[in-house]
Amino acid sequence: MDRARPPLRLFLAELIGTALLVFGGLSAVIFMFGTGSPAGKLVPSVGLRRVITGFLFGSVGCAITLSPIGKVSGAHINPSVTLGFLLAGKLTPRAALGYTIAQLVGAVLGSLPLLLWGPMGRSVDFGATVPGDGYSTAAALAGEVITTFGLVAALCVFLGFRNLRRFTPFMIPFLFAVMVGLEAGVSGTSTNPARTLGPAVISGRWEGWWIYWAGPLLGTLAGILVLSFLAVRIEVAKLYHFSDDRGGVFRAMTERVRRRSATLPTARSSPGH
């Protein structure tokens, strides 16, 4: 059996994890900013509500990472994170494609229960990310590039240093509290094409949709390029449960990518090349 071929359980876990992230994280957005919510009276400051929302959103991601779901798939729950692991040489292209499809499907499925929020959810388009009022397309794109760079850079630092590795999930709520607090008014601080796709489907808000693909893509590329010296130190494509590798699938994928990379110079220097 080819251990480097990812089993379907990885993709199923990733689909469920992304669905839970979108439902839980965007429920926090709706509660904090939806019309008629008591949150507006409890926390009048919009800026503070953004910080709290970012922390809650990140906490949902943290919980998924620590859960049995995260143990199975590694809890990327974001195509940007999957791309980062691919560029770092920890995933095969086939696995990265499977993860991404699972994330997109999971995000749409996870958005459907948001309809239960009714008028409160509709008042904020169920958490859809669109460029902020008064901000240009370029500003929103730059916001997504910068925040995604921040996410990928933080993951490289925490996963790249063995002493920090076990704290990776707990860093995420604080990171998003800062990023959402500072940047949400510009682009919505998505950093995650799947997170943007889900509410766009149920709300019909597609303004600037390409920003939420291009921005995270560019931010991830920049993050891995700038911190390549740390990215190469990452052991497996997981955010936690590093030693739990049923069947040795994650390490087998890393080894396969390493072997392929090692043969490239030989192929170029062989006769006829």
Identify residue 248 by its one-letter amino acid code: G
The rounded distance, in Å, linking the Cα atoms of 115 and 264 is 50
In a domain, 62, yes or no: yes
Is the model's pLDDT at 263 over the cut of 90? no
Cα 86 from chain centroid (whole Å): 14
What tens digit of pLDDT does each residue of 39-72 get?
999 999 999 999 999 999 999 999 999 999 999 9
In a domain, 106, yes or no: yes
In a domain, 101, yes or no: yes
Domain count, the chain: 1
Q: What is the pTM of this model?
A: 0.93
The rounded distance, in Å, linking the Cα atoms of 162 and 7 is 27
Q: Which domain holds residue 90?
A: 8-260
In a domain, 3, yes or no: no
In a domain, 269, yes or no: no
What tens digit of pLDDT does each residue of 9-42 get?
999 999 999 999 999 999 999 999 999 999 999 9
Cα angle, residue 207 at apex, residues 201 and 212 outer, rounded to 5°: 80
Is the model's pLDDT at 272 over the cut of 50? no
Q: What is the CATH number of the domain that holds 59?
A: 1.20.1080.10
What tens digit of pLDDT does each residue of 185-206 get?
999 999 999 999 999 999 999 9
Rg, the chain, Cα only: 19
Cα angle, residue 268 at apex, residues 262 and 270 outer, rounded to 5°: 105
Instruction: Tell me the CA distances in angstroms from 36 to 32, 45, 79, 116, one per residue in order.
Output: 10, 16, 33, 15
In a domain, 37, yes or no: yes
In a domain, 136, yes or no: yes
- pLDDT band at 265, cuts 50/70/90? low
Predicted pLDDT at 42: 96
Instruction: Tell me the CA distances in angstroms from 163 to 49, 86, 153, 167, 210, one per residue in order.
Output: 33, 23, 17, 8, 38
In a domain, 69, yes or no: yes
